Amino acid sequence: MSESKNQRSPSSMITRQSVSTPAHWSVEQWVEYLDEKFARHRKERTEDVTQMIASIKEVVDRVEETMTTQGQEILKLRELATE
């Protein structure tokens, strides 16, 4: 009974994350599939990181602008205080 449970038919499919791939693929087919999957994943992560960097730059620009404005105000106050 346990033997029949462990046997797979040649047309069985491996399903993961809603992607079906034939269990009988050759090594070359698996390599091509995994290369494409890796390339797609890498592209998506690169886009994510690029967006994060752009967001960080926006925050840095705002902080620099605020610091510059505050620095100018401090200099004006020092000038007024020394007059």
- Tokens of residue 67, six digits: 């610091």
**Stretch 58-80: mean pLDDT, rounded?**
96
Measure the CA–CA gap between 21 and 25, rounded to whole angstroms: 8
Residue 33 has pLDDT above 70, yes or no: yes
pLDDT value for 10: 47
Which has the higher per-residue pLDDT, 35 or 10?
Answer: 35
Residue 16 has pLDDT above 70, yes or no: no
Question: DSSP labels for 20-81?
Answer: EEETT--HHHHHHHHHHHHHHHHHHHHHHHHHHHHHHHHHHHHHHHHHHHHHHHHHHHHHHH
Task: With a cut of 80, say whether residue 6 has pLDDT above it.
Answer: no
Q: pTM of the full predicted structure?
A: 0.55
What Å distances lie between residue 37 and 12, 34, 51, 79, CA to CA? 21, 5, 21, 63
Domain ranges of the chain: 52-83
